[in-house]
Amino acid sequence: MMHMNRLFEFLKENFPRCKIAWSELLPRIVWKHSPKKSAMNRGRYRINRAGFSKARECGGFRIKHPEFKNRKLLASDGAHLSQVGNDIFL
């Protein structure tokens, strides 16, 4: 989080007229490298809250992705987006 805070401060100082958009981290069915899905989701919520809060402090906004609760937008591995999910995200 320290790196994120420094990045936001850098952007705010060097580009005072820019608008910062915080694009929320997407939910997943499977978190690679961790069997604890609930712990990973708590971390995701925490990072999303902190990122949005910092963006808002800098006059920015948040982009939510509620449509990605649909499992059909994830690839069969449960961690990556499917082709359709990727097209929607982009």
| CATH number where 84 lies | 3.40.50.1110
**Per-residue pLDDT tens over the stretch 29-48:** 888 888 898 999 999 999 99
At residue 82, the 3 state secondary structure works out as coil
CA distance 83 to 89: 10
pTM for the structure as a whole: 0.83
Q: What's the number of domains the chain is made of?
A: 1
Asked whether residue 1 carries a pLDDT value surpassing 80, the answer given is: no
Q: Is the dihedral angle over the CA atoms 24, 5, 45, 28 positive or is it negative?
A: positive
At residue 6, the 3 state secondary structure works out as helix
Tell me if 73 sits within 8 A of 81, measured CB to CB. Answer: yes
Enclosing domain of residue 85: 2-89
